[in-house]
């Protein structure tokens, strides 16, 4: 099951039991683009759910685009981590190494995310016909702005590439497969005039899925024309991002595998994953028992401080079952000892109200920033607790 380690917790683990030991790292020769580069494969992983990352780390040229193209930090994080979970269906974390995408360049991604343009629109934008490769639908400029955006919304928000490498018998590593994520808009935002008010139109789920699969077919055809990607297996997955105001992320809902050297998508396989906000009517209606546990926890926490009402949870469900729960408790402290006492109290309530089979993370914060972190892993009798200083 996916871990919910925060950056702070990961730092603690790295500084304590998992400090880098370069004598125990494995040096190999990376065979990439016909050049021999020295590379290091760490022997240890922080979790069975994560891939080892080949060193030195090579950032994707298109990495910065994801921040601008997705609606929230929640979508941003889940799009990347969720794509790794999808990858595990095809690429065993014990056999494959992770590397950020090296083949989709930033300019190519930008052009693919454009709309298609008419000759007149190209001229107005000072663009060449060879750059008219946008995957989003043409705005034919017929009708009002609202009518045009409702008829032809922007479906594709972002494209993310992850590369998975394998080590051969010759001591070299090479590309073993690629996973592509397509982030799709569930809501299309637009403006009727520059710097004016923002309007939106909701995209029905069935339309989103249909358009996403159509886009996937075209993306695969284009990937096969890129040097280095003509033969490798490719997995492509569809991600539905939430609205800009959502406090829970979207999720991947289907994926397809493309065989080595093929441009034909295989059968689409459903992904049963979803994030649910606690408390909410959705949580109460669809996950009553879990909602009751959270409600009891929330009541106990709020009873600690009169007139306090700020406990929010984000629950991750897979296969209809609760896997992990992230809880945020923003509160005002008047002293460090008060914060320590409150953290001890909350830790006890975490162990009291939530079952052993789920992972729980509680982030306690104030106007000064993070105050404490509580992490209870599956079947863990003693939770990890960290007080920030």
In this structure, the answer to whether residues 321 and 262 fall within a common structural domain is no
Q: Mean pLDDT, to the nearest integer, of 350-359?
A: 96
- Residue pair 388/372 in contact (Cβ under 8 Å)? The answer is yes
Q: Mean pLDDT, to the nearest integer, of 128-134?
A: 94
pLDDT of residue 18: 40
Contacting residues for 238 by C-beta, under 8 A, at least 6 apart: 181, 182, 184, 209, 212, 213, 216, 252, 253, 254, 255
**Between 356 and 168, whose confidence is greater?**
356
pTM of the model: 0.87
In a domain, 58, yes or no: yes
Judge whether residue 28 has pLDDT over 70.
no
Give the tokens for residue 232. Answer: 């490798």
In this structure, the answer to whether residues 215 and 342 fall within a common structural domain is no
Q: Mean pLDDT, to the nearest integer, of 224-233?
A: 96
Q: Of 271, 295, 328, which residue sits at a domain end?
A: 271
CATH of the domain at 28: 3.10.570.10
Alpha-carbon gap, residue 257 to 89, rounded angstroms: 10
Share of the chain above pLDDT 90, in %: 69
Helical spans, DSSP H, in 16-151: 65-69, 73-87, 106-113, 119-124, 145-151
Return the closest-CA partner of residue 236 out of 186, 184, 274, 276: 184
In this structure, the answer to whether residues 108 and 175 fall within a common structural domain is yes
In this structure, the answer to whether residues 294 and 265 fall within a common structural domain is no
The 10s digit of each residue's pLDDT in 187-204 is 999 988 888 899 999 999
Q: Mean pLDDT, to the nearest integer, of 68-81?
A: 89
In this structure, the answer to whether residues 249 and 225 fall within a common structural domain is yes
Judge whether residue 105 has pLDDT over 50.
yes
**Between 249 and 14, whose confidence is greater?**
249
Q: Of 226, 253, 271, which residue sits at a domain end?
A: 271
CATH of the domain at 356: 3.30.300.190
Contacting residues for 134 by C-beta, under 8 A, at least 6 apart: 111, 112, 113, 114, 115, 116, 117
Q: Of 271, 289, 310, which residue sits at a domain end?
A: 271
In this structure, the answer to whether residues 57 and 174 fall within a common structural domain is yes
Q: Which residues pair with 190 in a beta bridge?
A: 199
pLDDT of residue 135: 97
In a domain, 1, yes or no: no
Judge whether residue 29 has pLDDT over 70.
no
pLDDT of residue 10: 38
* Band (334; pLDDT cuts 50, 70, 90): confident
Return the closest-CA partner of residue 102 out of 175, 27, 29: 175
Q: Mean pLDDT, to the nearest integer, of 148-171?
A: 92
In this structure, the answer to whether residues 68 and 215 fall within a common structural domain is yes
pLDDT of residue 58: 85
In a domain, 2, yes or no: no
Structurally, the chain folds into a number of domains equal to 2
**Between 145 and 9, whose confidence is greater?**
145
In this structure, the answer to whether residues 222 and 295 fall within a common structural domain is no
* Band (335; pLDDT cuts 50, 70, 90): confident
Q: Mean pLDDT, to the nearest integer, of 66-74?
A: 82
Alpha-carbon gap, residue 127 to 177, rounded angstroms: 34
Q: Mean pLDDT, to the nearest integer, of 148-168?
A: 94
* Band (20; pLDDT cuts 50, 70, 90): very low
Share of the chain above pLDDT 70, in %: 88
Residue-wise over 291-330: b if at least 16 C-beta within 10 A, else e?
bebbbebbebbeeeeeeeeebbbbbbbbeeebbbbbbebe
pLDDT of residue 37: 66
In a domain, 370, yes or no: yes
- Residue pair 244/188 in contact (Cβ under 8 Å)? The answer is no
Q: Mean pLDDT, to the nearest integer, of 365-374?
A: 92
Contacting residues for 71 by C-beta, under 8 A, at least 6 apart: 157, 241, 242, 243, 244, 246
**Between 243 and 169, whose confidence is greater?**
243
In this structure, the answer to whether residues 187 and 334 fall within a common structural domain is no
pLDDT of residue 141: 85
**Between 213 and 339, whose confidence is greater?**
213
In a domain, 366, yes or no: yes
Q: Mean pLDDT, to the nearest integer, of 257-267?
A: 96
Alpha-carbon gap, residue 344 to 13, rounded angstroms: 21
In this structure, the answer to whether residues 262 and 285 fall within a common structural domain is no
Give residue 230's domain range. 7-271
In this structure, the answer to whether residues 241 and 220 fall within a common structural domain is yes
Judge whether residue 366 has pLDDT over 60.
yes
Judge whether residue 326 has pLDDT over 80.
yes
Alpha-carbon gap, residue 316 to 2, rounded angstroms: 10
Q: Mean pLDDT, to the nearest integer, of 10-16?
A: 38
Judge whether residue 152 has pLDDT over 70.
yes
In this structure, the answer to whether residues 38 and 172 fall within a common structural domain is yes
């Amino acid at each position: 099951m996916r871990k919910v380690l925060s950056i702070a917790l990961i730092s603690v683990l790295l500084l304590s039991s998992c400090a880098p030991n370069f004598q125990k790292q494995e040096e190999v020769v990376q065979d990439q683009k016909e050049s021999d580069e020295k590379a290091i494969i760490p022997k240890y992983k922080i979790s069975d759910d994560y891939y080892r990352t080949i060193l030195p780390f090579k950032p994707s040229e298109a990495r910065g685009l994801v921040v601008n193209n997705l609606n929230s930090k929640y979508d941003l994080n889940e799009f990347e981590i969720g794509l790794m979970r999808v990858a595990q269906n095809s690429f065993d974390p014990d056999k494959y190494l992770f590397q950020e995408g090296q083949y989709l360049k930033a300019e190519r991604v930008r052009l693919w995310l454009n709309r298609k343009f008419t000759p007149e629109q190209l001229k107005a934008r000072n663009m060449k016909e060879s750059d008219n490769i946008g995957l989003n639908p043409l705005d034919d400029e017929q009708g009002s702005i609202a009518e045009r955006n409702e008829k032809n919304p922007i479906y594709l928000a972002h494209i993310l590439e992850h590369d998975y490498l394998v080590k051969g018998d010759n001591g070299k590593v090479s590309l073993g497969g690629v996973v592509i994520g397509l982030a799709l808009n569930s809501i299309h935002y637009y403006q009727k005039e520059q710097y004016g008010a923002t309007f939106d139109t909701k995209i029905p789920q069935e339309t989103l899925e249909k358009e996403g699969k159509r886009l996937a077919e075209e993306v695969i055809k284009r990937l096969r024309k890129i040097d280095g990607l003509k033969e490798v297996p490719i997995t492509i997955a569809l991600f539905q991002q939430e609205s800009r105001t959502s406090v829970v992320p979207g999720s991947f809902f289907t994926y397809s595998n493309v065989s080595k050297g093929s441009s034909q998508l295989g059968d689409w396989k459903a992904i049963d994953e979803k994030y649910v906000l606690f408390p909410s009517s959705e949580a109460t209606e669809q996950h009553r028992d879990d909602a009751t546990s959270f409600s009891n926890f929330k009541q106990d926490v709020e009873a600690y401080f009169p007139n306090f009402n700020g406990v929010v949870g984000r629950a991750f469900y897979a296969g209809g079952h609760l896997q992990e729960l992230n809880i945020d408790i923003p509160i005002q402290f008047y002293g460090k000892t008060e914060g320590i006492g409150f953290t001890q109290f909350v830790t006890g309530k975490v162990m009291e109200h939530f079952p052993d089979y789920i992972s729980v993370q509680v982030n306690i914060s104030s106007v000064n920033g993070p105050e404490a972190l509580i992490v209870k892993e599956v079947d863990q009798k003693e939770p990890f607790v960290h007080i920030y200083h």
